[in-house]
Structure formats: C-alpha cells, structure tokens
A and B are shown apart, each in its own frame.
Chain A
C-alpha cells in the first residue's frame, strides 16, 4: 500500500473545504465544506495509523472516531444556530450577518420574523 495516495486525497479535500468555506454564502453550504475538512483530517489520521507504528496500536483510528463524534456535536449546534439565524432574519447568507449589532434596530436590518416572546 502506498500511503501517498490517501495523503494526497486528504490534502486536496482539505483545500476544497477551505475554498468552500471562504467561497460560499449560504451557511448550510459552509457547514458542508467544514464537513469536508473534518473528513480530510480523518483520512490523514487513519492513514497515519498505517504508516506510523505508535506505542499504542490503532491510536489514529481511535482519534478518527473522536473526530467523528466532535463533528456530530458541531453539526448539531451549527444547524441550531443556522435555523435561529433564519428565524430572525429570514436569510442564511453569512455575509448579511452584522458582526456588531447596532443598539437600535433602525440603523440595522429589521428582523424579518418577529417572535412573540422577544417583546419588541
């Protein structure tokens, strides 16, 4: 087995993920690109498990499992944030999100969907 093949695959997938995160406007597509990057890291970990003989056997695969669990937690919280953003602003375009909220909603964009509990 030549380890350079999965390593190059993982490097290219990571580059694609970085490109997607920077290029896409839709927050769901940004999350998909993050998944691509996490999977590239998983492939690197599993391949390194075959090339490096560590003291503890199968450490790379154990770490890959941990990364998969982390990705599951990340996608849960990320999608909750995306849905909350959609509920507030009726858009999921990440460059429409103001990084600093103006104190009065006059200058900023009005929240498109007002929910009753906000009291505004």
Chain B
C-alpha cells in the first residue's frame, strides 16, 4: 500500500458514502449538496490518478455548473424545505437491479485486476491533452461543439412556450413568431 493507494481508498470511500446519501436522503437540497461531496472526491481521485486537467474540468463543470443547475431546478420546482416522504417508489426491483449491476461489475473488475500494481503514466496536463485533442481527436471535438450548440437551442426551444407549441389552433401572433424565427424551425 503506497500513499496513492491510501488516498484512493479514502477518496473512494468518501465518494461511495456520499453517493449512498444522494440516493437515500429524504431532503432534496441535501441530495444536491451530497452530490457536491461525491463529485469533489472524484475530482481528488482524478488528481491522484495523474489526470490534472480532467480533475479541474470536473471541479469547474460538475461542481460549479451542473450542481448549481440542479439546485436551481430544485428551487424552481418548489421543492419542500425539510424531509419529504414521497420521494421514493417501493424499491425491491431497484435494489435488485442496482445491487446486481454494482456487485456484478465489482466482481468482474476485481477478477480482472486482482491486486496488481501499475506505475502511473506522466501527468495529463493541459498541454499534453490539448495536443491529443487538437491532433488526433479534432473531429469528435468539433462534432461535440455542434452537439452543445444544438442542446443549447433545444433547451431554449423547450423552455419558451411561444415557440414550438403553436399549432393550427394557436393565435396568429405565436404563429408569426414561429415563422419569422429561424430558431423555432425544426
């Protein structure tokens, strides 16, 4: 057991513990905050695994943006403050399938890797990853930018009720708006 192993064990235990709390807590807001703990522990895992850029992108995008969006959604859907009892379905099938997936994957990976050791490769700094992205993976990168743009347009179209809803029974104003706006055409 080297220092990296001890760190990985500790951060993994924190991540799994916070994950358990995310899927079992009765408080909506606390689920989001436990998610922050889980994602932060995973970012620490990435740092130990010498993936520097991925760790910082994880902190920026997940902990910074995604969790804030989720908390906004919790507030905008008027979630009750305090414990709520109607968050869960009766869950024997969920426990069966989830436990089966988790324990099955665990058994598979433990059987594949046993207690072997590897030496860590050189750190994935922004320079090295940038070389890879913009040389070998530049086409997926561009496709991904198109996907982000379409997701942005899709989210806007979904959340504006005056585009995309207007049918033949809608009033003329909304129909005009749809016709005159290129973002509303799909």
Contact = CB atoms under 8 A, between A and B. Distances in A.
B87 A25 contact: yes
Interface residues of B, number: 97
B149 to A, nearest CB: 9
A74 B133 CA distance: 22
B51 A26 contact: no
Interface in B54-78: 54, 57-58, 61-62, 65-66, 69-70, 72-74, 76-77
Contacts of B169: 119
A13 B20 CA distance: 8
A65 B46 contact: no
A42 B58 contact: yes
With a 10 A CB-CB cut-off, give which of B4, B39, B159 has the most chain A CB atoms. Answer: B159
Interface in A38-57: 39, 42-43, 46-47, 49-51, 53, 56-57
Contacts of B133: 62, 65
Contact of A62 (B46, B70, B99, B137): B137
A34 to B, nearest CB: 11
A2 B112 CA distance: 12
A75 B12 contact: no
Contact of B23 (A36, A61, A75): A36
A73 B74 CA distance: 18
